Amino acid sequence: MPELIEKVAPTSYMTSKCTTTSNVGLYNHIRGFPVSNGETGVLSPKVRAFIEQSVMLCQPEQIHICDGSNREYNMLLRLLYSQGTITPLPKYENCWLARTNPADVARVESKTFICTPHREDSIPTAKENVEGKLGNWISEKDMEAAMFNRFPGCMRGRTMYVVPFSMGPVGSSLSKIGIEITDSAYVVCSMRIMTRMGRAVLNLLRDNSDFVRCLHSVGTPASGKIEQPSWPCDPERTIILHKPASNEIVSYGSGYGGNSLLGKKCFALRIGSTIAKKEGWLAEHMLILGITNPEGEKRYIAAAFPSACGKTNLAMLTPSLPGYKVECIGDDIAWMKYDEKGQLRAINPENGFFGVAPGTSDQTNPNAMKTIFKNTLFTNVASTSDGGVYWEGMENTLTDNISVTDWLGKPWIPGVSKTPAAHPNSRFCTPAEQCPIIDKDWESPDGVPISAILFGGRRPAGVPLVYEAFSWQHGIFVGATMRSEATAAAEHKGKIIMNDPFAMRPFFGYNFGSYLKHWLTMEARANARGAQPPKIFHVNWFRKDANGKFLWPGYGENIRVLEWILKRINNEPCYEKTPIGYIPSENSLNTAQLKKDINIDELFSIPKVFWLKEADDIKQYFDEQVGGDLPAEIAHELNELKKRIGYSE
Ligand code: GTP
Ligand code: SPV
Ligand code: MN
């Protein structure tokens, strides 16, 4: 039983509010703190202990145990409205807009830590005098100190919500349970959309089984002054801590997305990847889609692209090619495990989409547009005078009689205002079941069979539209060497090209070198069951021409790339070998009815000078960032790549 919170709360804080220890009021108090909602009688000893410890540490005004009902959701929306956190969007059905404190708009990777006994359990050993970029480690002592400096009394005057949630369908053998304790009603409402939340989950825990302990507070600045009472936060002291050994997550200071909806990146990826390593499966930053070809053959594909690089869009793609059908299982996270036949199967552990708003339109992602205009919480988008939302990409929805208010609440004039109307990381939080192309098996407890894994990113130069890895091991090298332009999803500024292996750089729960070794074992796991692992591909929708224009139209046209991938899954000989992998052979990528000015040759060119430099950069990255933790197989793949591109030292 983890005792971290108990340890952090010194005895002086451990005094309960009520002076009597009798059972009087057992059903409406926990350690003397009033319970405003929920029965305490159904709490298992472990759940009760977690609440008791958190209550005594955080000293809330009252405790609300969430049941997940509509009544509760509506009550919390009313509360958020009365506090000025959200405003209604009367143009749509049950949609709301939250404007955050402008200092709390994205994940904060520099303040995210993994706590293990030894640094090398969490992160690779970077070269001397080089800043490690593959995660941050914190010692147990420092984690305790960080908590002690922030949490005692942090919920005074606030309600503490207890949010029992399931990642994956309630009761599925692939699902995992967590409890998030938070002082943010916005977080509760978002968790209700993004996870299966409420009484059914508490009931599952009645056998006193374990769960992931998630403690969250939006915090209060050390000065005591809350800048924006409608969005309390403490950006200066924001910290996100994970302790895989005891399945604990502690997050302080931010109410935004991946910082505060702890089921998502913290649990499903960081803690999830450590559990997956132990249990022999994979927890990945991947969308899952189903694709049916005109002959009626259906395959499922998983794809890892870094944050804000196109997962939601690909997961809901509207094919431009006739006869194809795409269905969506998930847009952000995949948990994948082999079945007894050696078939990799994936579930989406989430229940909703927390998707990037800007760029979403009837032209780019019509299925998202059909999903998000009911029961949706928007954050940091712009609003319109007719009670709707607006963001970059929705230009053609504006008419002369409609005025726009930007994400900061200021008037915004199209063509005149110099700043974006919506924050580039503004998001919609919407129920997955509302997606018109949600797959009929999206909640299947057994998951769906995965036939191919895609890696990709924003590569403005040098990287072709698609290539196939030569082998599983080469595919892991391709994942390990992924790079992409930075986006607004985290605090990085500018469009620098960053390494983002497996699109997991901000989300590894353990040493990246061990992660690669774990991936390498997945081939033998399939072989041991008489099967092969899925084929691996790399895609790049973002290559640009000399004028900085995208070479590829992307979005619905990406079906052409998926079609070629389907043919390769069926082992059609529609490829040619290049130094970096297999690309479509002449005429095997369907370009019928594509706009004439698309330069396919440039899209697929593999410039030697570029790849020589890329190989150098990869070598430097591995040497500086991964060092002795790099598996020999991956170092070997780099040497093989160098040989193929004609590298001489
Ligand atoms: P996270 O939720 O942060 O993990 O991101 P995501 O990978 O789901 O990204 P998303 O699909 O929301 O895309 C982010 C941005 O990329 C949006 O502004 C899209 O319009 C843009 N985008 C997506 N697909 C394409 C494409 O095929 N071509 C181009 N040019 N842009 C795209
Ligand atoms: C990402 O940044 O990859 C997201 C959004 O999916 S957040 O939930 O904020 O992490
Ligand atoms: Mn994501």
pTM: 0.96
Query: What residues contact 503, with CB distance under 8 A and at least 6 apart?
Result: 285, 286, 304, 305, 306, 307, 309, 455, 457, 482, 484
- Euclidean distance between CA atoms 530 and 186, whole angstroms: 48
Q: Does the beta carbon of 307 lie inside 6 Å of ligand 2?
A: yes
Residue type, 228: Q
Pocket probe for ligand 2: among 104, 186, 332, the residue whose CB has the most ligand atoms within 8 Å is 332
* 223-247: burial string, b at 16+ Cβ within 10 Å, e else: eeebeeebbbbbbebbbbbbbbeeb
- Kindly give the distance from the C-alpha atom of residue 556 to the centroid of ligand 1, in angstroms, as a whole number: 12
pLDDT in tens, 358-395: 999 999 999 999 999 999 999 999 999 999 999 999 99
pLDDT at 172: 86
- Euclidean distance between CA atoms 14 and 277, whole angstroms: 36
pLDDT confidence band for 23 (50 / 70 / 90): very low
Pair 79, 85: CB distance under 8 Å: no
- Closest atom, ligand 1, to C-alpha of 555: 27
Query: What residues contact 402, with CB distance under 8 A and at least 6 apart?
Result: 384, 385, 386
pLDDT at 205: 97
Query: Hey, which bits of 145-252 come out as E strands?
Result: 159-167, 176-182, 196-197, 212-217, 239-243, 248-252
Distances (CA, A) of 337 to 179, 203, 644: 24, 26, 33
* 67-89: burial string, b at 16+ Cβ within 10 Å, e else: bbeeebbeebbebbeeeebbbeb
Give the pLDDT mean for 604-630.
98
Distances (CA, A) of 536 to 368, 502, 506, 632: 27, 12, 22, 20
pLDDT at residue 14 greater than cutoff 70 = no
Of 335, 211, 314, nearest to 262 (Cα)? 211
Pocket probe for ligand 1: among 261, 264, 286, 309, the residue whose CB has the most ligand atoms within 8 Å is 309
Q: Does the beta carbon of 500 lie inside 6 Å of ligand 2?
A: no
In the structure, ligand 3 is a single-atom ion and the residues with CB under 5 Å from it are 307, 332
Residue type, 312: T
Of 568, 567, 606, nearest to 470 (Cα)? 568
Of 132, 119, 114, nearest to 239 (Cα)? 114
Give the pLDDT mean for 599-627.
97
pLDDT at residue 7 greater than cutoff 80 = no
- Kindly give the distance from the C-alpha atom of residue 357 to the centroid of ligand 1, in angstroms, as a whole number: 9
pLDDT confidence band for 3 (50 / 70 / 90): low
Q: What is the torsion angle, in degrees rounded to the nearest 10, for the CA atoms of residue 118, residue 121, residue 124 and residue 125?
A: 20
pLDDT at residue 12 greater than cutoff 50 = no
Lateral strand order in the sheet of 389-390: 389-390, 382-384, 404-405, 411-412
pLDDT in tens, 390-436: 999 999 999 999 999 999 999 999 999 999 999 999 999 999 999 99
pLDDT in tens, 32-75: 999 999 989 899 999 999 999 999 999 999 999 999 999 999 99
pLDDT at 494: 80
Give the pLDDT mean for 472-485.
98
pLDDT in tens, 263-279: 999 999 999 999 999 99
Tell the residue nearest (CA) to atom 4 of ligand 2.
307
- Euclidean distance between CA atoms 319 and 529, whole angstroms: 35
pLDDT at 9: 54
Pair 468, 454: CB distance under 8 Å: no
pLDDT at 308: 95
pLDDT confidence band for 79 (50 / 70 / 90): very high
Q: Does the beta carbon of 107 lie inside 6 Å of ligand 2?
A: yes
What is the percentage of the chain residues whose pLDDT exceeds 90? 92
- Euclidean distance between CA atoms 253 and 269, whole angstroms: 21
pLDDT in tens, 122-167: 999 999 999 999 999 999 999 999 999 999 999 999 999 999 999 9
Ranges of H-type helices in 216-299: 257-260, 272-279
Give the pLDDT mean for 100-112.
97
pLDDT confidence band for 4 (50 / 70 / 90): low
pLDDT at 649: 58
pLDDT at residue 632 greater than cutoff 60 = yes
User: Annotated catalytic sites, by residue?
Assistant: 309
Joined together, the tokens standing for residue 205 give 């825990």
Query: What number of residues does the chain have?
Result: 649
Tell the residue nearest (CA) to atom 8 of ligand 2.
258
**Exposed, middle or buried, 94 (CB in 10 Å: 0-12/13-18/19+)?**
middle
Handedness of CA 550, 553, 555, 557 (dihedral sign): negative
Pocket probe for ligand 2: among 265, 266, 505, the residue whose CB has the most ligand atoms within 8 Å is 265
- Kindly give the distance from the C-alpha atom of residue 254 to the centroid of ligand 2, in angstroms, as a whole number: 14
Q: Does the beta carbon of 489 lie inside 6 Å of ligand 2?
A: yes
pLDDT at 174: 87
- Closest atom, ligand 1, to C-alpha of 332: 4
Query: Hey, which bits of 52-103 come out as E strands?
Result: 62-65, 86-88, 96-98
Pair 550, 436: CB distance under 8 Å: no
Q: What is the torsion angle, in degrees rounded to the nearest 10, for the CA atoms of residue 301, residue 307, residue 309 and residue 311?
A: 30
Give the pLDDT mean for 302-310.
97
Pocket of ligand 1 (CB under 6 A): 305, 307-313, 331-332, 355-356, 358-359, 364, 489, 541-542, 550, 554-555, 558
pLDDT in tens, 165-215: 999 999 888 899 999 999 999 999 999 999 999 999 999 999 999 999 999
pLDDT confidence band for 13 (50 / 70 / 90): very low
pLDDT at 24: 44
- Kindly give the distance from the C-alpha atom of residue 206 to the centroid of ligand 2, in angstroms, as a whole number: 32
- Kindly give the distance from the C-alpha atom of residue 280 to the centroid of ligand 1, in angstroms, as a whole number: 30
Return the half-sphere exposure (C-beta side, CA atoms, 13 A cut-off) of residue 457: 28
- The ligand that comes nearest to the alpha carbon of residue 304 is 1
Distances (CA, A) of 279 to 18, 246, 274, 342, 456: 44, 15, 9, 15, 27
Tell the residue nearest (CA) to atom 17 of ligand 1.
359
- Kindly give the distance from the C-alpha atom of residue 144 to the centroid of ligand 1, in angstroms, as a whole number: 38
- Kindly give the distance from the C-alpha atom of residue 166 to the centroid of ligand 2, in angstroms, as a whole number: 19
- Kindly give the distance from the C-alpha atom of residue 174 to the centroid of ligand 1, in angstroms, as a whole number: 28
Give the pLDDT mean for 488-516.
94
Residue 143, phi then psi, degrees to nearest 5: -65, -45
Mean per-residue pLDDT over the chain, rounded: 95
- Kindly give the distance from the C-alpha atom of residue 311 to the centroid of ligand 1, in angstroms, as a whole number: 6
Tell the residue nearest (CA) to atom 22 of ligand 1.
310
Pocket probe for ligand 2: among 105, 307, 380, 502, the residue whose CB has the most ligand atoms within 8 Å is 307
DSSP conformation letters of 447-471: -EEEEEEEEE----SS--SEEE-SS
Give the pLDDT mean for 97-105.
98
- Euclidean distance between CA atoms 590 and 607, whole angstroms: 23
Joined together, the tokens standing for residue 448 give 């769906």
DSSP letter assigned to residue 445? T
pLDDT confidence band for 26 (50 / 70 / 90): very low
Q: What pairing do the DSSP bridges indicate for beta strands 159-167 and 62-65?
A: parallel
Tell the residue nearest (CA) to atom 5 of ligand 2.
258
Q: Does the beta carbon of 354 lie inside 6 Å of ligand 2?
A: yes
- The ligand that comes nearest to the alpha carbon of residue 391 is 1
The SS3 of residue 337 is: strand
- The ligand that comes nearest to the alpha carbon of residue 560 is 1
Tell the residue nearest (CA) to atom 1 of ligand 2.
307
Pair 308, 459: CB distance under 8 Å: no
Please name every residue paired with 243 in a beta bridge, in sequence order, or none if there are none.
248
Tell the residue nearest (CA) to atom 14 of ligand 1.
308
What is the percentage of the chain residues whose pLDDT exceeds 70? 96
